[in-house]
Structures are given as structure tokens and as C-alpha cells.
Chain A
């Protein structure tokens, strides 16, 4: 089998790293000769310039520009580099990619994504219903569309509460003053609805996997975050072996008949000793290359499922392995920046320094 060419979004690795660069690294672990096209929204996405980053990078329009603009740009890129698989890695683009499946397939581009119904049933606003169907717990959450609704919701839930955007961001607020500020910032960045959620204190755990679309998973990697950034992102995490977490993950994926990568976020409620589902991300996390380095390569599984329809057996991961995020500087030149800023193109891999 020839190694397929793959296009990946989300190449920025900064304070709040995106998953695309880690997906590229994972794919190269299994397919060292794989050619990778980075699809970027900004010339300064740091993964473009990394030594083991994409072979080429092209800007694409933001999802808000709509499907026509995106398809035209993908056609342009595909004429230059004939990629056959697209792996979107950002929350904001998944729904558009799901809706564009027929158009993408007609162009010879495959994705491994859930159905629109599955995608919508795991939205933050639907978590209570999903958890009820899967016999698991989630913090009390209210959807609000204006500040007064948010204040009423916080009063009903009782402070402190979490203020969350529909796609990203979570802020813990202790009182009405803090809520007002957090609400306004969230609505400015992510629009409505804004979620007001009960604040649970306890360890944060994530479960990563790929749903096969038939109700099963291709493997699971459960971790506990051990160091958090100021934005609550896991700078370090350690693999755990907790059958209760895996059981919840399996029930959720079976209920949704999820197809594609996912990351389930939990908090362990110290008082009730229950795992509370906080959200389900419909994509790989930025730490996806960690299990790949240990032999459970979820991005490579997607390539196998799309090209062969099956998977090689894998070994479960041993608890105790951990990762620490390590920041390095990538280097770019003025000529690279010039081409990116004017044409939205970067094709200077292996450039001489």
C-alpha cells in the first residue's frame, strides 16, 4: 500500500497548543515517508516551522467564512499536493467538516468523523441527557444567553460556578462581579450560549480514544493531569488504570456510536468518589502523541481504518508513564513569512539556515 498524503489542521503549539502538530508526529512514527500538508489559519502557527512539522502549509479560511470558500481553497491545495485524507483537529471546524462529507468525498478526500447526530448529542448543552442515558454523572449545567440569565443560573447553582464558552474556555467565578466579567469575555470570544456549571473540586482525568462508528473503541488511554497551566490545560499527565473510567467511556461511545477521535474530560468528585463528565471533545487532544510514543497510535489507527478498514492488534498501556510538555523555539525567516502572508503558502521544508 502506498502511504497516503494527509492534510491536518491545528498546527499551533503555543501557550494553548493545538493538536495538529502532535497528530503529524504520531503519523510519522508509523509512516516515516508520509507527506503531510498543514492547513493553517495564521502565518504564525509555530508547528509549521518545526523540524518534524508538515511538508507544506497553506492557509485556509476560518469556518465562519462558510463551505464555498473552504472547498475552493482545498481544491487549490489538492491540485498542488494530492492529499486523500483530512484530519481536522479543532472544535470549531468539526461540524463544518461533517456537513461537507459528501463534497469532500466527491473530491477524493476522506475523513474519519462522527455523524452530525452523534456530534450534536455530545455537545456541552446535551451532556446531562447523554449522561443520563449512559448512567454516569455530570455537574449541574445551565445554558444562558444574557447576563441576567447567567446571574440567575449562578444563584440557583450556588457560587463558585464555572463559566464556559460553547467551544472553549472555562473560568471559575466566586461572585457576581467576577461572573459579569467572565460572562462578557466568554460571549465576546465564543458567542451564545454561555454555560454556567456547578464547580466540582477534584483531580482532572481525561480519556482518549477513537470510536469505530459501530459502538466500539479502538483502544483507550486514561490519564490524570498532574500539572495544570493557568488556563487549566494539562502541562503534565500520567497514565492511570481505572476500570470505572473506561467503563463510562465505553458506554458513552456505544450510546453515540461515535466514529472518530474523542477526548472525554472528567473530574473526580472527592466527596462522592464519582467521576463527573465535564465535556467530550470531538477530536484528538494536543497530547495525542504521548500514547503514540508508547505504542498506542490513535492517528495511525485512523489511517488504517480509512485505507484498510481494520486495525492491527494493540497492547494496553501500562499505568505510570507520564508526559511533561516541553516548549522550544521554532525558527522562521522573513522570506517564509512573506510567502505565508501574501500567498498563504509555505513550502520551504528542509530550508538551509
Chain B
């Protein structure tokens, strides 16, 4: 499992407001984005995220997988994870 050390340095509140203290840049996550990040921070393996999200939001596995991949790629692009 990846350590996601950068993720733990972020300040994230319950509304999905994300602040990167090293860069001074803020972002917002929608409800599902926040749920994905919370799962990651709680130790859920990246490869299991889509199963949890599909189950919780009653969507198909491919759809959940696609959206999660998009989210994680965006966060990698901004060096947030």
C-alpha cells in the first residue's frame, strides 16, 4: 500500500475544503471526493476504493473506478498525494 505521506500533511475539513500548508493553496472536494480521501487516510487500499464507493453510492464498479482514477490523477497532478 502506498504511504500517501503528502495526503496526511493536508488540512481537510468536513466540508471538503482542502488546504496545502506548504504551498498555501486551497481546493474543494465534492462529497464523494471527500469520502475517497477519507477512506485513503483511514487505510483503505487504493485498489479497493472503487468497491467501497460503488457500494456506498449504489453505482457501477466501472463508473466508480473511472471517477476515482480521475480524482487521484488530478490530485497527483497538483502534488497533493
* A226 and B25 alpha carbons, distance in the complex (Å): 9
A320 touches B21 (CB 8 A): yes
A-chain residues with CB within 8 Å of residue B11 when the two chains form the complex: 319-320
Cβ of B22 under 8 Å from chain A: yes
Chain B contacts with A in 1-28, Cβ cutoff 8 A: 11, 19, 21-25
Binds B, one of A4-12, A62-70, A234-242, A335-343: A234-242
In the bound complex, CA of A268 to CA of B24 (Å): 12
* Chain A 202-232 interface residues, beta-carbon cutoff 8 Å to B: 203, 205, 223-224, 226
**Cβ of A281 to closest chain B Cβ, rounded Å:** 20
A238 to B11, CA, bound (A): 14
Interfacial residues of chain B within 23-49, with CB under 8 A of chain A in the complex: 23-25
Q: Would you give the 0/1 interface string for A308-328, flagging 1 where the beta carbon is closer than 8 Å to chain B?
A: 000000000001100000000
> What's the least CB distance linking A321 to chain B, in Å?
10
Q: Considering only CB atoms and an 8 Å cut-off, how many residues of chain B contact the other chain?
A: 7
Do A242 and B23 touch across chains, with their CB atoms under 8 A apart? yes
Contact A224 B21 (CB under 8 A): no
A242→B22 CA distance, assembly (Å): 4
Chain A residue, CB-CB nearest to B19: A320
- CA gap between A241 and B22 in the complex, in Å: 5
> In the complex the two chains form, what is the Cα distance from A319 to B25 in whole Å?
11
Min CB gap B28→A, angstroms? 15
- Shortest C-beta distance, B64 to chain A (Å), equals 32
Q: Interface digits, A235-252 against B, CB 8 Å rule (1 contact, 0 not)?
A: 001111111000000000
B21→A203 contact, CB < 8 A: no
When the two chains form their complex, are residues A224 and B19 in contact, meaning their CB atoms are under 8 A apart? no
Among residues of B, the one whose C-beta sits closest to the C-beta of A223 is: B24
A83–B30 CA distance with the chains assembled, in angstroms: 57
* B21 engages A241 (CB within 8 Å): yes
Contacts of B23 in A (CB 8 A): 203, 224, 240, 242, 268
**Contact flags (1/0) for A89-102 with B, using CB distance below 8 Å?**
00000000000000
Residues in B neighbouring A239, C-beta threshold 8 A = 24
**Nearest CB of B to A272, in Å:** 13
Q: Write the chain A residue with the least CB distance to B9.
A: A241
Name the A residues within 8 Å of B24 (CB-CB): 203, 205, 223-224, 226, 237-240, 319
Alpha-carbon distance between A328 and B54 when the two chains are bound, in angstroms: 54
CA gap between A205 and B11 in the complex, in Å: 20
Q: How far is the CA of A241 from the CA of B23 in the complex (A)?
A: 8
Residues of B within 8 A of A241 (CB): 21-22
**A110→B24 CA distance, assembly (Å):** 37
Closest to A205 in B: B24
Q: Name the residue on B nearest A241 (C-beta).
A: B21
Choose among B19, B22, B23, B24 the residue with the greatest number of A CB atoms under 10 Å from its CB. Answer: B24
CB distance from B34 to the nearest CB of A (A): 18
Q: Considering the chains assembled together, what is the distance between the CA atoms of A238 and B19 in angstroms?
A: 11
- Which residue of chain B has its CB nearest to the CB of A238? B24
A311 to B22, CA, bound (A): 28
Residues of chain B within 8 A (CB-CB) of A268 are 23
- Please measure, in the bound complex, the distance between the C-alpha atom of A235 and the C-alpha atom of B22, giving whole angstroms: 20
Query: Complex formed: what's the CA distance from A205 to B25 in Å?
Result: 12
Additional A-B contacts beyond A237-B24, A242-B22 (5; CB < 8 A): A242-B21, A243-B22, A319-B19, A319-B24, A320-B21
Query: What are 25 A-B interface contacts by the 8 Å CB criterion?
Result: A203-B23, A203-B24, A205-B24, A223-B24, A224-B23, A224-B24, A224-B25, A226-B24, A237-B24, A238-B24, A239-B24, A240-B22, A240-B23, A240-B24, A241-B22, A242-B21, A242-B22, A243-B22, A268-B23, A319-B11, A319-B19, A319-B21, A319-B22, A320-B11, A320-B21
Closest 9 pairs between A and B when the two form their complex, measured CB to CB: A224-B24, A319-B21, A240-B24, A238-B24, A241-B21, A242-B22, A320-B19, A240-B22, A240-B21
